[in-house]
Amino acid sequence: MLEGTEEQRAETNPRAQQENEEATPPTNRGTFAFFLMSAVGVHTLALLLMELQPGADGPQILTADALYQLGHVEEAYCLLLNIEHTAPRPQILARLAILQLHRVFLYGLLKKLINSGDTSCLWPLLSVTSLQDRALLEKHCHTTSKRIMCGQQAESAIREAVAYLSIAIMASGGAAIDSLLERARCYALLGQWKTAIFDFIAILKEHPDHVQALCGRGFTYLMLNQQKMCMLSLKDKVRKLVSEWLAQHCRSSLSETLSANPVPCREELLQEAFLIGEALMNTDCREPRWHLLYIDIQYKVNAAGAHLKQVFGQEPRDAAAKARWGVVKAWQQTYKVAANYLSVVAEKEPATLDFLITLLQSVKKKRLAQAASQQASSVSESGQWEQALALLTLAVRAVSEMKLQYLRQRAACLAHLGLHKKAVSDLNKLIQGHNADGREEKRVWAEDLCHRGSSLLLCSHEESGLQDFSQALDLHEEQALLCVEAGLGTQRLAEMFLRFTGLKVDSSHVEHARIKREVSGPCTVH
């Protein structure tokens, strides 16, 4: 069977085609030279030669060619069939295969030609074959290749499909894009990556913006471990789309790997990610995101730190890069610095923070959360509430244990900043975690209810807020009264009760303002 590279050289190189023609037996060369004469004249001469050389193949082939040109296809077919029975040769099989396209039933003559191992005789023959027959041959060969490839991937089947596709490409004059794409796929299945690239190039030579060929060539370069060529071979617009897709795929794959394996992950689990990361950096070294991705893939903290310092510096202004320093510092057990660095993305880029936290072991996450909580208490004392909020968000996201403690701390910070809806959200989680067992638990529960009630009232959800205060009074009256006095104040709360629920404030005691429910009639709090 003819090798694919040899066929492609002939298709794309005029000199190679000339060599094929020169290699054609003298009888064939003479045959096609005679077609410069009229078909009738050639036929007359061929008949004379048949009389002078009885039984010789050359005059009979010449006669069959003349009959074909004159439109006597059936006569030409019968004449060649008789010769083929006595001495089957590629040049006879090639002619029979083309003539057979006009018949209802096909008898596998093309397959016999392919099995002969010499399809080069088709080149000169196709130059004088009608356009209609060339189109029929191209369609038949492409369809046959698809049928061969359907449901089987054996090497012998793939090679047979390549041979049919090569003939289809010959018949089209090298313009059969579908056949070129299909043959490139076959070469890829055979592991002949470089040969596959030639087919993609053949398409791009005439159609520079062909997306399938561009992507096919790019990914074939990737399989050859030529990452830079993979990306540079694509057009700018396509390259950008492919780069974005690769980065997204890499991040998704990396997240799955990190969630399924202990950190730091083993090197072999990150090979694909490293391959993509290096390809992206080699394609566009000026894109910071590709460097950040490569840093995230690093399983060695020293290597990650070195790359981070080289590209972004020790104190980067970019928040995403600064957050990566936070990971490095956490690995180095410098948790206070790590908390400050990681907190810069806590509020603005929560997805980035969540991903970076997965790069840390559980014990490091716990200590990082503790450091963030302590740092938040420190900065809040000096009035830096926004920074405290970012640190507390880091603490909440870093751990599942002790989360309630950090939620309570963050809810207070949110309320101080006037972000009462967010404070209510945190307090909802806290209150859902309470149970009614233990006096101390009831005290804390009541305090959380009072804080939520206060934020609800300030969000204009008066009825829900007052319900929280009523429940707090029932759970732990003393703690609820202390919270009221430290917060809204008893007078303001009493006015709200009077306006919305008919409750009254009894301030008969000088030391404490006592709130209690005085039901006048069937008044019920909902």
Q: How far is it, in rounded angstroms, from Cα 235 to Cα 233?
A: 7
Q: Using alpha carbons, select from 285, 312, 280, 310 the residue that is nearest to residue 297.
A: 280
Nearest Cα to Cα of residue 497 among 508, 513, 509, 486: 513
pLDDT digits (tens, 9 = 90+) for 10-41: 343 433 343 343 333 344 444 444 444 566 66
More confident of the two residues 145 and 23: 145
Q: Is the pLDDT of residue 83 over 90?
A: no
Each residue of 237-252: pLDDT tens digit? 767 877 888 888 889 8
Residue type, 394: L
Query: What would the pLDDT profile of 417-449 be if each residue is shown by its tens digit?
Result: 999 999 999 999 989 888 655 556 889 999 999
Domains and CATH numbers, the chain: 4-206 (1.25.40), 225-298 (no CATH), 300-417 (no CATH), 419-526 (no CATH)
Q: Is the model's pLDDT at 325 over the cut of 80? A: yes
CA dist 480 and 470 (Å) reads 9
Rounded-to-5 percentages of helix, strand, coil across the chain: 75, 0, 25
pLDDT score for 520: 35
Cα distances from 523 to residues 472, 497, 517, in angstroms, run: 19, 12, 10
Mean pLDDT of the chain: 80
With beta carbons less than 8 A apart as the criterion, state whether 393 and 347 touch: yes
Tell which wins on pLDDT, 186 or 114: 186
Cross-strand bridge partners of residue 506: 514
Neighbours of 411 (CB within 10 A): 26
CA separation for the pair 358, 351 (Å, rounded)? 11
User: Tens of pLDDT along 152-196?
Assistant: 678 889 999 999 999 999 999 888 999 999 999 899 889 898 899
Residues in the chain: 526
Strand, coil or helix: what is 516?
strand
Contact 467, 452 (CB under 8 A): no
Closest listed residue to residue 406, CA positions, set 357, 453, 370:
370
| Its pTM surpasses 0.75 | no
Burial 484-517 (b: 16+ CB within 10 A, else e): beebbebeebbebbeeebebebeeeeeeebebee
DSSP string, 363-416: HHHHHHHHHHHHHHHHHHHTT-HHHHHHHHHHHHHH-STTHHHHHHHHHHHHHH
Non-local (6+) Cβ contacts of 296 within 8 A are: 251, 254, 324, 355, 356, 359
- What span, in angstroms and rounded, lies between the C-alpha atoms of 218 and 211? 10
Which residues make Cβ contacts (< 8 Å) with residue 41, sequence separation at least 6?
none
Asked if 296 and 324 count as a contact pair (C-beta separation under 8 A), the reply is: yes
Which has the minimum average pLDDT: 10-24, 88-102, 496-510? 10-24
Backbone angles phi, psi at 201, to 5 degrees: -65, -40
- How many Cα atoms within 13 Å fall on the side-chain side of residue 83? 25
The pLDDT score that the predictor gives to residue 239 is 74
Given this model, what pLDDT does residue 245 score?
81
Q: Where do we find the tokens 């790359």?
A: 307
CB 333 within 8 A of CB 370: no
Please name the residue that has the structure tokens 């789309």. Answer: 241
Average pLDDT over residues 282-291: 89
Which of 32-36, 314-318, 521-525 is least confident? 521-525
- Residue-wise pLDDT for 249-268, tens only, equals 889 889 888 888 888 888 88
C-alpha to C-alpha distance for 17 and 9, rounded to whole angstroms: 8
Strand pairing class (514-516; 504-506): antiparallel
Distance CA 200, CA 86 (A): 42
Tell me: pLDDT of 321 over 90.
Answer: yes
